[in-house]
Structure 1
Amino acid sequence: MLFANGLVVASLLAAASAQFAQPWNKCGGEYYTGPTVCVDGWTCVYQNPYNSQCLQIASSSSDASSLASSSASS
């Protein structure tokens, strides 16, 4: 019975996360049919008519420098 409850919880979590685009993923553009809202802390940023992407927007200059350094090291 525990397995069944865990399976239900896992299914619910998967369904909830499917409603939001994940970090760095596509979230818009021509012919795109997936989620258009990004997970908390990430924003859907227009790139061109065919692509928008979930990016983490820095709120201050110190956040921007730490974001840039973490992106460069990835």
Structure 2
Amino acid sequence: MIASDQLNHKGQILKDVFIKENINIAKLAKTLNVNRGTIYFWFTKPDIAKEKFYEIGYVINYDFGPILRQVQ
């Protein structure tokens, strides 16, 4: 569960889901055609485009929709 104080930091949301779902960042980076550093950089960003969430969600088979609706 994402803490309410973290809902405004989308990078933290992404990081929390990756930890919860035990996502292999190296494999994800390869699939998304980015380097691992890019993914770690996303964790620091307070704002990430919805399209990026949906792209990642598709690759890891995770629905970010409910979380993103809370952020609105």
Could you say which TM-score interval applies, normalised by the shorter chain?
Answer: under 0.3
Report the TM-score, using the length of structure 2 for normalisation: 0.21
Report the TM-score, using the length of structure 1 for normalisation: 0.21
Higher relative contact order by CA 8 Å / sep ≥ 6: 1 or 2? Answer: 2
**Which has the greater radius of gyration?**
1
Q: Which has the higher helix share?
A: 2
